[in-house]
Structure formats: structure tokens, C-alpha cells
Amino acid sequence: MAMQAVTLSSYYALGHISLQVVCPCRRAVRRNNNRPFIMAASPLQGDPVREWIMGEGGASKILKISPVGGGCVNNASQYQTDVGSFFVKTNRSIGPAMFEAEAVGLDAMHKTNTIRVPKPLKVGPLPGRGSYIIMEFIQFGASRGQTELGRKLAEMHKVGVSEKGFGFPVDNTIGSTPQQNPWTDDWISFYGEHRLGFQLKLAQQQYRDNDVYMKGQKLLQYMHLLFKDVEITPCLLHGDLWSGNVAADKEGNPVILDPACYYGHNEAEFGMSWCAGFGSSFYNAYFEVMPKQPGFEQRTDLYKLYHYLNHYNMFGSGYRSSCTDILDRYMRLLKL
């Protein structure tokens, strides 16, 4: 993963790859299901992935195991079998908690029966150290454009509501940063404490950045002013929606991957829009299903700030000015 900020460039190519944005920190193009390298399917003993595929997975033969490129954190492979393909990610150093959280998120989104999401099948530890997740393999293809993505995402937000408030049944990670999701009745408290507040503290601890921290604290105190006349229902969010986590299946239907799910204000879903390349067709389709709320434009930076702070904390000072620009704008807007 590139560790420094470079200029964000993007293009939108209808009919081929619907979203292709060079995210400063992450990889430029991640969709790559057609890698030519094929690993031999070796008959490993005590391999829990193979055991699950040949057991509950219903396969009697593993035909090929091919690496899938694109991810930064984990190793990914396609297991081709006589009953179809499985997608497997392994991590040699981290225990199953990270993949368990991913599976809970994928499962929650899958159950909304709205936008296409790979169905999680199994998570477990690897012998000795590490963990794996097995999920439905999706053959990617060309997107039909962003309209369907906007509509389906909005449908997921509309259907996936929580009666427990804001939060999620499990904590997860945003990039490599922990993301805490305790159930909270009030959105502004949740976003203030567990999203912005958490990242601000991290920046202060890591970089002794008192300027960012103090401005951030002021914003937390007054950000409720940005929410006048807004109705906020806890909606199921993907949580890390950037171009690298959006694809299309071979019929052209949108697919979203690799989530950092929680129940939150639907507008927070656009916090990574600076790395997503969403155009007007996306937003128009989205707002037809989930109407735009008063003050939407005033809150877009508030939701970007969480992800900019996270990038600052993960990748360093290249992202600091994105954070301070937003903080300074709110200081002026709210006269703080």
C-alpha cells in the first residue's frame, strides 16, 4: 500500500469499469480476477480451508487454486472446484476476529437482499497462527454505470435498519485502524465519540497534534448545529465505500466488497466519496430512494473528515492538510 499522498485522479468509463479512481493511499485498480498464474492444488493435510470446501462446501475435487490480486492486507485466492468456485482470504498473522467482523458485515448486507454482496461461508483459525474466510466467489464483469449502484445502495440503506440504535454487533476495522461500534441511541454522540473523537485522540497520541485535536474538540461540541431538521434512522452502512470496494458481476450488477459495516446516518456512507468517483447519475438514483435531507451539503465534509483523519493516522502527514482544511472551514461556518 502506498504510504504517501499523491494527487487524486479519477475517470469514469461507462461500459468497462464503472469506477476507477486512483486513491492516494490505496491501489489504483483492484479488480483482477483474470490473473494468469495458477498455483498447483497441493493435497495439504490439516488445511481447514480445503477441509471445509471438501466437506460442508460440497466439493469432491479442487481443480485449481489461483491467486487473486488487488487486496493489500490479506492473501486472496480463487478455489475452483467441481461444484463451482470459492473465494478465500487468508492472513498469516492475525486471528479470526477481523474476518469474523467482515463476515458479520457481509452477512448483514447480504440479508437485505438489495445490492449484491458475496455471501460469507466460513471463518476460522489457521493451524499455528493466522485465519481465513471463505465466501461466495463472484466473477466480475463490466458495470452498466452508476445509476444501479446508487439505487441499490439506497435500497440497502432503506431496508437495513436497526432497532438497537447506532453501532454494530461487533467492532471492526477501518483500513487497519480499530473501529468501535457500541450500541448508542443518539447519532451525534456516536459519531462524535466513536468516529471523530476516536481518530482525534489517535492523532494526538501518535503525532502530538494538539492543533487538530483542539479544533476537532470544538467541532464535536458544536456539530449538532449541522443537523437541524434532520431525521436520522440507523441504516446499515458499508462503511468504507470507495472505488476499490465496488465492482460489477458478469451481468453488470453492482457488487460491494470488503466492508467496515455499522448502523449509522446514511450520509456517512459518502465519507470516502473523495476516493470513489461517484457522479450525478449515482447521486440522482440514490436520492430517488433515500431523499436528500436538509443541510446535506453542510455535512459532507463532516463525514469525509473521519476518513481523512483515519488516513492521516494510517499514512502520515500527507493527509494532515485535508483534515485542517475541513476543520478550519467548520470553525468559520460555525463561528468557533
Ligand X SMILES: Nc1ncnc2c1ncn2[C@@H]1O[C@H](COP(=O)(O)OP(=O)(O)OP(=O)(O)O)[C@@H](O)[C@H]1O
Specify whether the CB–CB gap between 29 and 17 falls below 8 A: yes
| Residue among 148, 209, 258, 267 that touches ligand X (CB under 6 A) | 258
Specify whether the CB–CB gap between 255 and 118 falls below 8 A: yes
Instruction: Select 190 or 242, whichever has its Cβ closest to ligand X.
Output: 242
Q: Which residue is it, cell 440514490? A: 286
Q: Burial of 48 by CB count in 10 Å (0-12 exposed, 13-18 middle, 19+ buried)?
A: middle
Specify whether the CB–CB gap between 140 and 247 falls below 8 A: yes
| Residue among 6, 8, 44, 72 that touches ligand X (CB under 6 A) | 72
What is the C-alpha to C-alpha distance for residues 169 and 100, in angstroms, rounded to an integer?
Answer: 11
Provide, rounded to whole angstroms, the least separation between the CB of residue 30 and ligand X. Answer: 4
Side chain identity, residue 106: L
Instruction: Select 89 or 299, whichever has its Cβ closest to ligand X.
Output: 89
267 binds ligand X (CB under 6 A): no
| Residue among 49, 62, 223, 257 that touches ligand X (CB under 6 A) | 257
Provide, rounded to whole angstroms, the least separation between the CB of residue 61 and ligand X. Answer: 20
| Residue among 48, 70, 130, 141 that touches ligand X (CB under 6 A) | 70
What is the C-alpha to C-alpha distance for residues 184 and 111, in angstroms, rounded to an integer?
Answer: 23
Active site (annotated) includes residue 185 = no
Q: How big is the site for ligand X, counted in residues (CB under 6 A)?
A: 20
Specify whether the CB–CB gap between 91 and 131 falls below 8 A: yes
Contact window for ligand X (CB under 6 A) among 35-43, 72-80, 296-304, 328-336: 72-80
Q: Please give the residues from 122 up to 141 whose contact with ligand X meets the rule CB under 6 A.
A: 135-138
Q: Burial of 177 by CB count in 10 Å (0-12 exposed, 13-18 middle, 19+ buried)?
A: middle
| Residue among 2, 73, 289, 334 that touches ligand X (CB under 6 A) | 73
110 binds ligand X (CB under 6 A): no
Per annotation, catalytic residue among 240, 249, 301, 325: 240
Per DSSP (E only), the strands in the chain are: 9-11, 20-22, 62-67, 75-81, 84-91, 120-125, 131-136, 172-174, 177-179, 235-237, 246-248, 254-256, 262-264
Provide, rounded to whole angstroms, the least separation between the CB of residue 319 and ligand X. Answer: 17
What is the C-alpha to C-alpha distance for residues 156 and 255, in angstroms, rounded to an integer?
Answer: 12
Residue nearest to ligand X (CB): 71
Provide, rounded to whole angstroms, the least separation between the CB of residue 234 and ligand X. Answer: 25
76 — phi, psi (to 5°)?
-125, 145
**How many CB atoms within 10 Å of residue 281?**
18
Provide, rounded to whole angstroms, the least separation between the CB of residue 309 and ligand X. Answer: 18
Provide, rounded to whole angstroms, the least separation between the CB of residue 275 and ligand X. Answer: 12
Contact window for ligand X (CB under 6 A) among 12-20, 69-77, 177-185, 231-239: 69-77
Contacts of 45 (CB under 8 A, 6+ apart): none
29 binds ligand X (CB under 6 A): no
Q: Please give the residues from 83 up to 102 whose contact with ligand X meets the rule CB under 6 A.
A: 87, 89
| Residue among 2, 76, 225, 334 that touches ligand X (CB under 6 A) | 76
Contact window for ligand X (CB under 6 A) among 73-81, 159-167, 194-202, 302-310: 73-81
Contact window for ligand X (CB under 6 A) among 66-74, 184-192, 208-216, 295-303: 66-74
Instruction: Select 41 or 289, whichever has its Cβ closest to ligand X.
Output: 41
CA dihedral sign of residues 292, 293, 296, 302: negative
Residues that bind ligand X (CB under 6 A): 30-33, 68, 70-74, 76, 87, 89, 118, 135-138, 257-258
Active site residues: 240
